[in-house]
Amino acid sequence: NAGVTQTPKFRVLKTGQSMTLLCAQDMNHEYMYWYRQDPGMGLRLIHYSVGEGTTAKGEVPDGYNVSRLKKQNFLLGLESAAPSQTSVYFCASSTRTYGELFFGEGSRLTVL
């Protein structure tokens, strides 16, 4: 049972480059989330989705875009990467809005 799978696990970008992080879950969860984790900051929500075809902004959405074309996938895009986007990114899913979150193992992104 894979749970929540993130790809890639590591990526190095140059400033201005673009990339997409992919999150896939096999638990048939309705809700999916993208967080970033920075030292001393805790986990901060970037974007979230309450169902297929829907997305909404979280706390720190600037510089990111997302899409949820299929229920099991949630994509996070960076159109023009900046050094401030160097972070560890976590995808999570939940079966309902008040349920516990199931996290992926993270994607470590470095922007030079």
Partner 1 sequence: EDQVTQSPEALRLQEGESSSLNCSYTVSGLRGLFWYRQDPGKGPEFLFTLYSAGEEKEKERLKATLTKKESFLHITAPKPEDSATYLCAVQALLGAGGTSYGKLTFGQGTILTVHP
Q: Is 74 in the site for partner 1 (CB under 8 A)?
A: no
Hey, which residues does 67 pair with through a beta bridge? 75
Measured from the CB atom, the residue of 17 and 73 that comes closer to partner 1 is: 73
Q: Is 2 in the site for partner 1 (CB under 8 A)?
A: no
Q: Is 62 in the site for partner 1 (CB under 8 A)?
A: no
Written as one string, the DSSP assignment of 44-75 is EEEEEESSTT--EE-SS-TT-EEE-SSTTEEE
Q: CB–CB of 100/4 below 8 Å? A: no
* Per-residue binder mask for partner 1 (CB under 8 A), 29-58, x = binder: --x--------xxxxxx--x-x-----x--
* In the complex, least distance from residue 42 CB atom to partner 1, rounded to whole angstroms: 4
